[in-house]
Chains A and B, each alone.
Chain A
């Protein structure tokens, strides 16, 4: 009970997600494993974009260039994988991940060195990375290694759980492998400390500048995973960034990460991604007017965050 209260927001989100699954089943009785698999695959790039944004927001910043960095990584992977579908593609993945981390770190470095606000620097970098993506590939194209595409398509038979979507397994493994060790290390604590109160963190001996660069570098790394997931799910690279920036901010807010920094985790935003994708699916299943769909999605988000805010103010979360 204490744990439930401590993680009240996440519990609430999990309940909403469960209710949405029930609602989906009621709307479309044939909704089953294939639907969940489609959902997981659709959520993958959104989830990586959201995780990337969450890390930066926890550190007290914001990165408006995440979708553009995803586009750069996606087109780079697609161009390099064309004709290199074998073992070489594994090297390409590591190269793209390193590139993503470097792009993110460069964002952080510019913010720390120039002392220009995060929102201004990353807005400028949004255009820079967008241009870089178009320079690498001026129109959708390239290729993706078939064996690698298979990693996120279909279900993985897990005893006791049946077929778990591979996309979900990949997402959880990547986030756990990258975030859990960092969260438990000094650098993780520093990210939260800097986001909570940079001055207090500095007085406590935290290297604020380096921590912020690490946070942006991590965001770049997760954005690279997002770009790779786009290439793997479509089989091509697209230089025009998709709708991942605003979606990532929405999921971060809905996921319980405080925009001021220092509070929240990655599990909440990840559940929020699935909630938002499932709402989108339900609206399609219900044949809701597409113009109205956007209004409903926004309204749901505002209402949930408002209720959460009220409960938090009353000390119930």
Chain B
């Protein structure tokens, strides 16, 4: 009986072991071209966490550095050489990496572009709608200042594709409000220190303004307004933890956070795994539309209250999950550990 029990246990263990070995069968490559930015770091952590909880990823091969489209093409080609099964990429540019992506798909590798699209027919795209992101926030801001006045327009990085898309959305909203003008247009480079210095410089000029639109460098702008002891004006930012916290806590601040989930990276890993498992989606391009949470209406206040998370880095978006696409817990994404780490 003892022998039978031991044999059964051994057989069960072996079966479970083989099953788990068979389950963790894929190698996923990741390519990202912006390092040291809160949003991108959350995206990478979402990718790692999703790969870990899926149980299907044996290892992640991450090419994560500050580079351009040519450098990203190099990284993608290196990932092809590494023999990965799928590549999840945040494109530096939709056209600039198209050749490398096509080479990957021709080599039988599943390619999923997240955050921004890529102009390669065989790739799948799971992207945040950047134009709509800017349009929603700008429209709310222009309404909030009564349809007339001047705003400070704090863009992202000059020459970046995402900034260009957002500029189209902002311009579209501006055309709908002919009495609104841009008092000052600056490029923050999506850097907190630079953005804060720029708004401090503008406040120092003494030229009045009625509102501020930011491309995600937001909490430091509110800090600058508070520290300078000037009248608070409506501010639009992203759903970053720091800014969402300010929307609930800074007295007299009117503002709106537009969602731009960095967790789209985790969703990209899920999509890649589904395709590898034979579940091909009907559409190659899926756009995730943003939502706006304003602290001036009840629905927005409720969303902002619900999203408060002091455990997150102030630069990290609070939308750490995307329903139906990500399965990790808050602790797992904050831990930022992938398979084998």
Chain A interface residues toward B at CB < 8 A? 28, 30-31, 34-35, 38, 41-42, 45, 133-134, 137-141, 153, 230, 233-236, 238-243, 277, 280-281, 284-285, 287, 289-291, 293-294
B158–A239 contact, CB under 8 A? Answer: yes
Contacts of B161 in A (CB 8 A): 139-140
Docked-complex contact A38 and B159, CB < 8 angstroms:
no
Bound-complex Cα distance A67 to B223 (A): 35
- Given A139-B159, A290-B35, A290-B62, A285:B81 Cβ within 8 A: yes
Complex CA distance for A132 and B38, rounded to whole angstroms: 30
Residues of chain B in range 137-191 having any CB-CB distance to chain A below 8 Å: 157-161, 163-164
Of the A-B pairs whose beta carbons lie under 8 Å apart in the complex, a sample of 12, sorted by A's number, is A38-B80, A138-B159, A140-B159, A140-B160, A140-B161, A230-B68, A234-B73, A234-B95, A241-B68, A242-B71, A284-B82, A291-B64
Q: Name, among B35, B71, B74, the residue most crowded by chain A CB atoms within 10 Å (CB to CB).
A: B74
Given A140-B95, A234-B93, A284 contacting B157 (CB threshold 8 A): no
Closest 7 CB pairs of A and B: A42-B74, A242-B68, A139-B164, A38-B77, A290-B64, A239-B159, A234-B96
| Interface residue count on the B side (C-beta < 8 Å) | 38
B70 and A45 form a contact (CB under 8 A): yes
- On whether the beta carbons of A287 and B60 are closer than 8 Å, the reply is yes
| Closest-CB distance, B97 to chain A (whole angstroms) | 7
Residues of B within 8 A of A139 (CB): 159-161, 163-164
User: How many Å from the CB of A198 to the closest CB on chain B?
Assistant: 36
Report whether over half of chain B's contact residues are helix, strand or loop; otherwise say mixed. Answer: mixed
A291 to B66, CA, bound (A): 11
Q: Which residue of A lies closest to B29 (CB)?
A: A284
Chain A residues lying within 8 Å of B82, measured Cβ to Cβ, are 28, 284-285, 287
Answer whether A230 and B157 are a contact pair too, CB < 8 Å, given A30-B83, A287-B60.
no
Complex Cα–Cα for A291 and B35 (A)? 9
Interface positions of B from 77 to 94, Cβ below 8 Å from A? 77-83, 92-93
- Are A285's CB and B78's CB within 8 A? yes
Q: Are B164 and A293 in contact (CB under 8 A)?
A: no
A233-B62 in contact given A138-B164, A238-B93, A239-B159 (Cβ < 8 Å) = no
- B64 cross-chain contacts in A, Cβ below 8 A: 290-291
